[in-house]
């Protein structure tokens, strides 16, 4: 395996999100859906809300230099117009703890969950959603602007819309393309507003939304011409449309990129955007969730980011496996892809593994294991051996 040396100041670390790790978040749309039996119960998660100090110490001992976490809007603003001082202080303690450990702070303002009051008013379908989000962002930036190094406004808008409004497997469980378009428009406006507000509070800060990118490979069976077209269109629309738009509006300081896997896609009579092909065409390895391990995809997508002339921060990359060898293989091959892209002139400033710790994986509940750590029933953190391999990469700034 060739060796790679990353640029000085390259950031290494891991990512988490509030609902997935904190525990006892009961005032949001996911908690409601769990109570209604529509999605798994999250419950106490891994109690990160109270145990963050221990987890940050571990991250520090693993030589992480950046950590991404999200603010739980429903905790901070449990009712319309009312901000709760206790969580605001608790997040401040988290940021100060990171700072003290010389770990850069990457903060997401919206990572899939919505406060109940917001949800009951129609969520992101309501045109007032943009103003509600903006008020929350304003309050947060006034509080935290000096303590945050990188802001991520909204995590994966397209994934949120697809799962919540097209596939209907996440709250609000809608299957309406018309609504999906409206919601995506509001999320985009919310990002533009948030970008402006955050810069008003601190001009030199860095802001992006987190873009989930996937590789779309044409299913090599019959209809190859049409399948190629579907793959091309999906790449253009899913991976690039929003980035292009926000870049044009000058509302991106860097590109936060989340990458996991690849899909084979094919043409279909009934769906303009084609469909995913579920046959296994190649002997590619899959993870425990059935996702292809495809580091070539990360390299190709990173190369595709050159056109934006912005630094790229890999804000999530990871896998769920059952044995350590598979984690190691995924980790090294993806970091190698990052190294190769750096060599080819892509400006990449950091890499965050998803996730620091096994956690609540949305509609899959606790059946996925993305963490560098697992947890037992007493919430003891147990390192997986590949966490030490990653530590060595972070410590050497390459491999
Ligand atoms: C999301 C995470 C999720 C991860 C693994 C990302 O798209 O941001 O919340 O846990 O994928 O599925």
Ligand 1 contact via 261 beta carbon (within 6 Å): no
Alpha carbon of 355 to ligand 1 centroid (Å)? 9
| b/e burial code for range 212-240 (CB count within 10 A of at least 16 → b) | bbbbbbbbeeeeeeebbebbeebbeebbb
Q: Alpha-carbon distance 70 to 54, whole Å?
A: 18
pLDDT recorded at residue 5: 82
- pLDDT, one tens digit per residue, over 32-78 is 999 999 999 999 999 999 999 999 999 999 999 999 999 999 999 99
pLDDT band at 269 (very low <50, low <70, confident <90, very high): confident
The interaxial angle of helices 295-304 and 324-343, nearest 10 deg, is 30
Alpha carbon of 148 to ligand 1 centroid (Å)? 22
Output the CA–CA distances (angstroms, integers) from residue 220 to 226, 267, 284, in the order listed: 11, 11, 14
In degrees, rounded to 5, the angle at the alpha carbon of residue 158 between the alpha carbons of residues 152 and 162 is 140
- pLDDT, one tens digit per residue, over 139-191 is 999 999 999 999 999 999 999 999 999 999 999 999 999 999 999 999 999 99
* First-to-final CA distance of the chain: 9
DSSP 82: B
- pLDDT, one tens digit per residue, over 309-346 is 999 999 999 999 999 999 999 999 999 999 999 999 99
Q: What is the pTM of this model?
A: 0.97
Mean pLDDT of 279-306: 92
pLDDT recorded at residue 209: 99
pLDDT recorded at residue 268: 86
With a pLDDT cut of 90, the percent of the chain lying above it is 92
Closest atom of ligand 1 to CA, residue 364:
12
pLDDT recorded at residue 1: 67
Pure H helices in 251-385: 295-304, 324-343
pLDDT band at 16 (very low <50, low <70, confident <90, very high): very high
pLDDT recorded at residue 253: 98
- pLDDT, one tens digit per residue, over 192-243 is 999 999 999 999 999 999 999 999 999 988 788 899 999 999 999 999 999 9
Output the CA–CA distances (angstroms, integers) from residue 333 to 5, 162, 291, 295, in the order listed: 15, 29, 15, 6
CA 332 to chain centre: 20
Ligand 1 contact via 316 beta carbon (within 6 Å): yes
SS3 176: coil
To the nearest whole number, what is the mean pLDDT of the chain?
Answer: 96
With a pLDDT cut of 70, the percent of the chain lying above it is 99
SS3 236: helix
Closest atom of ligand 1 to CA, residue 318:
5
Atom 12 of ligand 1, nearest CA residue: 361
Closest atom of ligand 1 to CA, residue 361:
10
Count CA within 13 A, CB hemisphere, residue 150. Answer: 29
């Amino acid at each position: 395996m060739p060796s790679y040396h990353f640029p000085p100041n390259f950031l290494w670390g891991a990512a988490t999100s509030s609902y997935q790790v904190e525990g006892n978040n009961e005032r949001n749309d996911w908690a409601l859906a769990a109570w209604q039996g529509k999605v798994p119960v999250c419950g106490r998660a891994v109690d990160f809300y109270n145990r963050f100090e221990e987890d940050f110490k571990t991250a520090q001992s693993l030589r992480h230099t950046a950590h991404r976490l999200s603010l739980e809007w429903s905790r901070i603003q449990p009712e319309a117009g009312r901000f709760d001082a206790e969580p605001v202080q608790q997040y401040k303690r988290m940021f100060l703890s990171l700072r003290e450990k010389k770990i850069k702070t990457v903060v997401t303002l919206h990572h899939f969950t919505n406060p109940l009051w917001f949800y009951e008013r129609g969520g992101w379908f309501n045109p007032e959603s943009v103003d509600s989000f903006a008020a929350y962002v304003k309050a947060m930036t006034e509080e935290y602007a000096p303590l945050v190094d990188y802001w991520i406004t909204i995590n994966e808008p397209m994934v949120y819309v697809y799962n919540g409004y097209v596939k209907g497997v996440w709250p609000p469980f809608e299957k309406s393309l018309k609504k999906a378009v409206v919601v995506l428009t509001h999320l985009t406006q919310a990002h533009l507003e948030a970008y402006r507000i955050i810069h008003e509070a601190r001009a030199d800060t860095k802001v992006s939304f987190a873009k989930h990118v996937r590789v779309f490979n044409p299913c090599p069976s019959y209809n190859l011409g049409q399948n190629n077209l579907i793959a091309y269109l999906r790449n253009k629309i899913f991976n690039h449309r929003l980035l292009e738009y926000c870049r044009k509006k000058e509302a991106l300081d860097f590109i936060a990129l989340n990458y996991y896997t690849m899909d084979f896609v094919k043409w279909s009579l009934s769906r303009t955007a084609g469909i995913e092909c579920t046959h296994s065409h190649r002997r590619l390895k899959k993870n425990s969730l059935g996702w292809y391990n495809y580091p070539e995809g990360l390299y190709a997508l990173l190369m595709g980011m050159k056109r934006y002339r912005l630094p790229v921060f890999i804000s999530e990359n990871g896998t769920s496996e059952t044995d350590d060898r598979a984690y190691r293989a995924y980790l090294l091959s993806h970091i190698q892809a990052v190294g190769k892209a750096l060599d080819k002139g892509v400006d990449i400033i950091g890499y965050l593994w998803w996730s620091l710790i096994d956690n609540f994986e949305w509609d899959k509940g606790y059946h996925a294991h993305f963490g560098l750590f697992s947890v037992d029933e007493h919430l003891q953190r147990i390192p997986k051996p590949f966490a030490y391999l990653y530590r060595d990469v972070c410590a050497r700034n390459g491999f």
